[in-house]
Structure 1
Amino acid sequence: MTTVKTVAFVEPSFYGVSFARVAFEQGHRVIAIVSSKDNPQKYGYEGIYHDLIVADIRDEESLYQAIIQSPYANQLDALIPATDYASHVTAKAAERLGLRGLPYEAALKARNKDLAREAYAEHGVPSARFKKVRTYEEAAAAAEEIGYPIVLKPTNCASSQNVYFINNVNELREAMEIIIAFKVTYMDFKVREEYLIEEYLDGPEFSVELFLREGEPIFSAVTEKITSPLPYFVEIVHTLPTPSYTEQEEDIVRTAVDALAAIGIKNGPSHVEVKLSSTGPRIIEVNGRPGGDNISSDLLVQAFGVEIFEATVNYYLDNPIAIDKRQHRAASIAYVTADRDGIFESIEGLEALSLHDNVVRSHVTVSPGDPVSIPRSSDDRLGYIITKGETPEEAKALAIALVDSLKVIYQQHEAEIA
């Protein structure tokens, strides 16, 4: 029988909703610390918490004060970041409260891509050559030094927001104008006015789902990714376990573990993005939490019977962790995307999905009348299909075939599109 503990989540959203649901279903008292009382409805976690605390989750002092002035002062058993943006402020507050979690410096490096790149370079972890810039002039000089094509990205955002593949100085000038005007991201977190110019890494992309104990993996799995056509980097298919480059899985996992060590993550879950370049695995970025995009909530469960959110809640509570692979199957998720800009009406062909035994579920995230566009960030995806199979090739082929069978229908009166 589970001993009831009090578990606080800082703004469950996106992947973090699964965190809150697991703790709620385990029978714990779940406290959601939110920036607005409207957020449970907005992000989909109504009914899976017991109480709310309102705080400025962008500010560590506000978060700390809100907790110690609440009825749960000195009663929290765990404080868990449930959105990337608040991971570092949550880590700092948890340290002050004497609770288990990521070291603050490690969380700060994971949150800020420039600090992470500096740590990789210092520890000899293969990643991308980079320069931190503030102005177009600095960016142009950095691009010249690194050599086109390059990648331009914010230092502290997520979901491929304003990440650009750039071939020449004209494209760079245009992209810099856009990125400099990009001031605020999700939940009103400020975009830092420093940007990265990075070497473009060739090769296929993967993520490594890991759980560490004192620096060594007690669980690892490699997910294959397919991204949208350049110049954007939106993830549109994930397959677990990877059906490709399996002979290099060990190298990919070891590089991911080395990257975590470089930024100071030794325990708990992580999601590390890697490119298998012509010179071997190179790190894209590190996240000190379970993977999003339904990788943790669905693909790991379907493929291996692994409940990584459950293991993570137990880790934060310092309870025993069970994370062994209970089966060896496969799963894939493929995203529905628009092939042009327009006003969404419907998706044709959804009814046929229920005829397939290996469809786990499908979901549409847009409504009639919503403006849609070709995917420039993860926000632009329209929905998804999750499939399972005995092999990764089977699960992947079905997911892609089913997405390809769908047709996005646009409204005819599109003159209102700005």
Structure 2
Amino acid sequence: MNGRPKKTCHTQANVSEVPMPQIPHSFQMPTTGRTLLVGFNRALVTELDSFLPAGSLTVVEEADVYRKKGLERARQSLSCVGEVILAPYQQSEACLGPVLAAHARTPFTTVVPGQEYAVAPTALIAERLGLRGAGTTAAGTLSDKLALRRTTTAAGMPGPRFQEVRSLEDVATFVAQTSGQAVLKPANRQASLGVTLIDSVDEVDYAWRELVSAEEPRQVADRPWKHRYIVEERLHGPEFSVEALASDGEMIFVNITQKSVAAGPHPVETGHVVPAPIPEPVSEALLQSMRRLIAAVGYGTGILHAEWIVQDGQPIVIECAGRAPGDNICELINQAYGFSFVQTAWSLLAGDTPQPPGQARQGAAIAFLTSLPGMVTHITGTDTARAVPGVVQVSLSVHEGDVIPSLRSSWLGRQGFVVAVGPHSAAAADAAAAAVSHISITTGDGEASASLTRVVG
């Protein structure tokens, strides 16, 4: 959706809704300048704050999102954040004009997406500024699961039967004509939002309701959204993600993450282990498939985060994001490999030639806390969890009196996490699982549910 920014009354210093200027046709590559982040991401900006100079980061954010998430308060402790440009970028190119005007005043040398919905506009900005990036074609493909499935199929990569759907009847017909097992999901959303597993035609009604009612109001602007939906045959097998840094289409760093997901109709991620403790033939197959994926979409330079299911020994791509992974995977990579994944990506996009490590030096794991839905009446065990050897972080996002929803997406139903390290991946996963076993979140009438699917084994 294109359109001009709405008029607002922000008075904070360095926060502006810039009027749309006439867009020039090209810019020369700047020799000095600053970093542009499209879409505020608190975890990402916190890491940027450790190496970017004070005031050197310009952030583009939707005015509605900036207000709803209280980002003016969030930025106060982040010295790297300088100017904030409030302009549309979600399903919109309206941010381009204000960004080009800011670039004309003081050139940007690096532009990076901070959110899923910023991938395509970030690539467009990079292209117009002559900066390194994913490329507009690749970014558009990675931002739409239908486009990705069509692209990989055309490239000869294996994949399930799939179809764009616009109604419940479309879904029911697809399920009836296939094996009866399917996955229904938005083609252009994030965080497992609206993703529902179907095991028979009888479950289509529920899946459709879950799909069309899925919302993330704090994450998106208050304007109409263009939805696209996809249904595809169910795949069965262990799940992984591959995080890569690519330079002009060639991988210069790659990591394989093993993940676990919740049981039931909503396959929300409940844990990750870095690097994945898997046999070499499986890891080699994933690496080769990742190279094919990069070539198929025509990806240029930056970060990729691709999710895979290995079915009968064959990796099949589920989706691929052209941005930094969520779920603290960047931190797991930092802990396992002993370098800053984000800082290396920034250096790469700025035109440098970093040389990240090729092997992990230890294992790292994250385990997410889940519990029964209801009002939280009691939380115990966090101090004991922190004392478990190998645990480096215990974080809870709920307090007594909060109401926990049922597990639906990465935004809904997870109550916190534990991060742990160990001499190898299995040891890290064991430490995370041990810590989680000590934490009890009591909801409702005294019924307690501790936490988490074991992340390995």
TM-score by length of 1: 0.90
2:85 is matched with which residue? 53
DSSP 3-state at the match of 1:395: helix
DSSP 3-state at the match of 2:227: coil
Structure 2 residue 169 is matched with structure 1 residue 141: no
DSSP 3-state at the match of 2:253: strand
Q: CA deviation at 1:53?
A: 1.2
Q: Which runs of 5+ in 2 are unaligned?
A: 1-30, 448-457
Amino acid at match of 1:293: D
Tell me which of 197, 222, 235 is aligned to 2:231.
197
Q: CA deviation at 1:393?
A: 0.8
Structure 2 residue 284 is matched with structure 1 residue 250: yes
2:400 is matched with which residue? 368
1:353 is matched with which residue? 385
1:21 is matched with which residue? 49
Structure 2 residue 305 is matched with structure 1 residue 271: yes
Task: List aligned pairs for 1:296-375, cutoff 5 A.
Answer: 296=330, 298-325=331-358, 328-338=361-371, 340-375=372-407
Q: Give the stretch that moved more between structures: 349-358 or 218-227.
A: 349-358
Tell me which of 200, 208, 221 is aligned to 1:168.
200
Q: CA deviation at 1:58?
A: 2.0
Q: Give the stretch that moved more between structures: 312-321 or 388-397.
A: 312-321
Is the Cα–Cα contact under 8 Å of residues 11 and 81 in structure 1 kept in the other structure? yes
Tell me the alpha carbon deviations over residues 172-225 of structure 1, each in whole angstroms, 9 at most, x when there is no partner.
Answer: 122213323447662237554331111111001001111223433221111110
Tell me the alpha carbon deviations over residues 265-320 of structure 1, each in whole angstroms, 9 at most, x when there is no partner.
Answer: 14322111111112511111111123221111x11111111311011111221123
Structure 2 residue 59 is matched with structure 1 residue 32: yes
Is the Cα–Cα contact under 8 Å of residues 241 and 330 in structure 1 kept in the other structure? yes
Tell me which of 269, 284, 307 is aligned to 1:235.
269
Structure 2 residue 34 is matched with structure 1 residue 6: yes
Equivalents in 2 of 1:213, 1:71: separation in Å? Answer: 24
1:259 is matched with which residue? 293
Q: Give the stretch that moved more between structures: 115-124 or 27-36.
A: 27-36
DSSP 3-state at the match of 2:151: helix
Q: CA deviation at 1:125?
A: 1.3
Q: Which runs of 4+ in 1 moved over 6 A?
A: none
Is the Cα–Cα contact under 8 Å of residues 246 and 253 in structure 2 kept in the other structure? yes
Is the Cα–Cα contact under 8 Å of residues 156 and 191 in structure 1 kept in the other structure? no
Q: Which runs of 5+ in 1 are unaligned?
A: none
Tell me which of 241, 263, 279 is aligned to 1:207.
241
DSSP 3-state at the match of 1:131: strand
Q: Give the stretch that moved more between structures: 134-143 or 352-361.
A: 352-361
What fraction of aligned residue pairs are identical, expressed as a percent?
A: 26
Amino acid at match of 1:361: Q
Specify whether residues 365 and 353 from structure 1 end up closer, same or farther in structure 2 by C-alpha distance, changes over 3 A only: same
Kindly report the root-mean-square deviation, in angstroms, between the aligned alpha carbons of the 2 structures.
2.5
Structure 2 residue 125 is matched with structure 1 residue 93: yes
1:41 is matched with which residue? 71
1:409 is matched with which residue? 442
Equivalents in 2 of 1:326, 1:21: separation in Å? Answer: 26
Is the Cα–Cα contact under 8 Å of residues 301 and 307 in structure 1 kept in the other structure? yes
Is the Cα–Cα contact under 8 Å of residues 16 and 83 in structure 1 kept in the other structure? no
Amino acid at match of 1:384: F
Equivalents in 1 of 2:352, 2:33: separation in Å? Answer: 11
DSSP 3-state at the match of 2:77: coil
Equivalents in 1 of 2:73, 2:257: separation in Å? Answer: 26
Tell me the alpha carbon deviations over residues 84-114 of structure 1, each in whole angstroms, 9 at most, x when there is no partner.
Answer: 1111122112222322211111111111100
